[in-house]
Amino acid sequence: MSNLCIVAALVFSFWVDAFSAYQYRHFNETQFSLHEAKEQTHSSLFGRIPLMVGLTLIQGAAAKGAVCLDGTLPGYHLHPGYGSGANSWIVNLEGGGWCNDVRTCIYRKKTRRGSSTFMEKQIPFTGILSNNAEENPDFFNWNRVKIRYCDGASFAGDGEDKAAQLQFRGQRIWLAAIEDLMSKGMRFAKQALLSGCSAGGLATIIHCDEFRGFFPQTTKVKCLSDAGLFLDAIDVSRGHTIRNFFSGVVVLQGVQKNQPRFCTNHLDPTSCFFPQNLIAGIRTPLFILNTAYDSWQVQSSLAPSSADPHGFWHDCRLNHAKCTTSQIQYLQGFRNQMLNAIKGFSRSNQNGLFINSCFAHCQSERQDTWFADNSPVIGKKAIALAVGDWYFNRAVVKAIDCPYPCDNTCHHLVFK
């Protein structure tokens, strides 16, 4: 197998992983088609092999109880910045689903999402983590870090299940990683950006103000949540699939003690795991990047097989082109719910938005969607440029696409 093929396989596996980590329940019932794999890796790979960055385990973490589900050390991948970016930092929180009960967490601890034993020793840095100015114009020479995700509760839990030998230490992992990075020069940062996609996008929202608090007021600190706007939506059978799932995560992993008071003062802990109940209270500038028809939410929250026993949604769930008129109408209702959820948030000039009308999930870490010749755009502006304009205050960015099917720049995800 050639080096290029190995890299292609790695890159593909990583953005698939960001979409859905495990084959349990309906929270990961599909795989990307081979056609999709070839198409999406072509633009970022066959021109150039991406940077591969090694894994660093956090040696002092165990003493703080900051361990993965199976008790192994957590870790991160760091590529140092240089030149004008030497004192600027991107901290990216890895995504990859959640585990909501003992059974799924036991499964998870035997994978790279629950144990550093199974983590790759090197991963590709693409999209917002790329070190190439042509692929990542504003952040290519920053210090760029990906913190690995091995707790299963968006870096927010703190508890354990001794009988099942499970450690729920996401909050401690987050703190141990930040402390380690501070010792490696991040304490001198003049600019910092916390980012993440999917479960990592939710973690970015949860930890945004906390991240701001690690730096002096003179440091410019902002946050970017990609595909993290999980809505408290009703599924196609009028049930609460995602709420029930998140409730399991919150209760099992002891998330409540780490939730912000501004939310728990008036809402239950599960409601405070949904971004729509958090974003209005976040004081730090936040950019929300999300597709209006988020593929993960369509498949796992709105129309999972458990809510669709007769399979009416089966084809639509896998390929938007096979949705009926009434199914598209239903999905337009989901888009409206998303736009309503961000209404108050969008009124603040310090916040940014890029809500494009695509059937996709995670767009900042994939090169083809972040910044390439045929990247998705709103008003002729690619995602990388929109985020850069917002971060550096070059422009106010509140980009909301017209409803599907008006956008022909989308990189829709199609499944088989």
pLDDT tens, residue by residue, 121-150: 999 999 999 999 999 999 999 999 999 999
The tens digit of pLDDT for each residue in 160-176 reads 999 999 999 999 999 99
Output the CA torsion sign for 309, 199, 277, 270: positive
Angle (deg, nearest 10), helices 3-19 and 34-45: 120
**Catalytic entry in 195, 198, 300, 375:** 198
198 belongs to the catalytic site: yes
**Catalytic entry in 70, 138, 294, 368:** 294
The one-letter amino acid at 160: E
Confidence of residue 30 (pLDDT cuts 50, 70, 90): very low
373 belongs to the catalytic site: no
**Catalytic entry in 77, 79, 207, 361:** 361
- Measured CA angle at 399 (ends 393, 405), to 5 deg: 160
Confidence of residue 48 (pLDDT cuts 50, 70, 90): confident
The tens digit of pLDDT for each residue in 345-379 reads 999 999 999 999 999 999 999 999 999 999 999 99
180 belongs to the catalytic site: no
State yes or no: pLDDT of 262 exceeds 80. Answer: yes
The tens digit of pLDDT for each residue in 388-400 reads 999 999 999 999 9
- Those residues with Cβ within 8 angstroms of residue 191's Cβ, 6 or more apart along the chain or in another chain: 87, 88, 89, 142, 219, 220, 221
State yes or no: pLDDT of 33 exceeds 80. Answer: no
Residue 12 pLDDT: 41
In sequence order, what are the beta bridge partners of 270?
none
State yes or no: pLDDT of 17 exceeds 50. Answer: no
State yes or no: pLDDT of 46 exceeds 70. Answer: no
State yes or no: pLDDT of 89 exceeds 70. Answer: yes
The tens digit of pLDDT for each residue in 188-228 reads 999 999 999 999 999 999 999 999 999 999 999 999 999 99
Q: How many C-alpha atoms does 36 have within 13 Å on its Cβ side?
A: 17
